[in-house]
Amino acid sequence: MRRLAVGTICVVLGLAVVCAQGQVSKAVAELQSAAGKNVKGTVTFEQVGHHQVKVTVHVTGLEPGKHGFHIHEKGDCTAPDFTSAGGHFNPTGSPHGAPTDAKHHSGDFGNLEANSKGEAHLETTVDFLEFDGANSFVGKAVIVHAQADDLKTQPTGNAGGRAACGLIKAK
Ligand SMILES: [Cu+2]
Ligand SMILES: [Zn+2]
């Protein structure tokens, strides 16, 4: 009886170690610019609570105004026009929309707004991203578009070309 109890503790401790090693709680995407543009920036994702992911975006080199900003379904920024990143990240099979809509792609973040110097900053905490499991956004790509996301045109938001792309890597 005593031996069994000791064995159980060891197993529990073992599982706890495995869980701690398997969990990712921070990911970063460094933006690379489309040819002919000079867009730079960083997107940081941090787990800040249960189903709470804080997203911090800093981008420079944009045209002043609104730029659609999404997670796309493929972690591939190799094509010069970044079409290799595919469509919007949408593991739930939802329509395109604003991040505040009841239904939207898990990759929908609406727009970044660049000031007169071409700098955009966004800080938001969302409840629709998963770090782990089959629907994880880690390993996908972020895209900053040349134009504004109208938040309704299916399935792209009509945000135009892709000005920057960044692979989302676990940190
Ligand atoms: Cu996009
Ligand atoms: Zn979308």
The mean pLDDT of 55-80, rounded to a whole number, is 98
Residue 156 or 21, more confident:
156
The mean pLDDT of 58-71, rounded to a whole number, is 98
Query: Residues within 5 Å of ion ligand 1 by Cβ?
Result: 70, 143
The mean pLDDT of 59-86, rounded to a whole number, is 98
The mean pLDDT of 62-86, rounded to a whole number, is 98
Longest CA–CA separation in the chain, Å: 73
The mean pLDDT of 23-52, rounded to a whole number, is 95
Positive or negative, the CA dihedral 68, 72, 75, 80 is: negative
Quote the pLDDT of residue 19: 45
The mean pLDDT of 32-59, rounded to a whole number, is 96
Collapsing DSSP to helix, strand or coil, 4 comes out as helix
pTM of the model: 0.86
ω into residue 64 within 30 of 0, thus cis?
A: no
Determine the distance separating the centroid of ligand 2 and the alpha carbon of 31, expressed in angstroms. 19
Q: Report pLDDT digits (tens) over 83-109.
A: 999 999 999 999 999 999 999 999 999
Determine the distance separating the centroid of ligand 2 and the alpha carbon of 171, expressed in angstroms. 25
Residue with token string 């955009």: 120
Question: Is the pLDDT assigned to residue 166 strictly greater than 80?
Answer: yes
Quote the pLDDT of residue 24: 82
Which tokens hold the place of 56?
């911090």
Query: Residues within 5 Å of ion ligand 2 by Cβ?
Result: 88, 96, 105, 108
What is the CATH T-level fold of the domain 25-170, as seen in this structure?
A: Immunoglobulin-like (2.60.40)
The mean pLDDT of 149-157, rounded to a whole number, is 98
Of the bound ligands, which one is closest to the alpha carbon of residue 86?
1
Domain boundaries, the chain: 25-170
The angle formed by the CA atoms of residues 80, 109 and 124, to the nearest 5 degrees, is 125
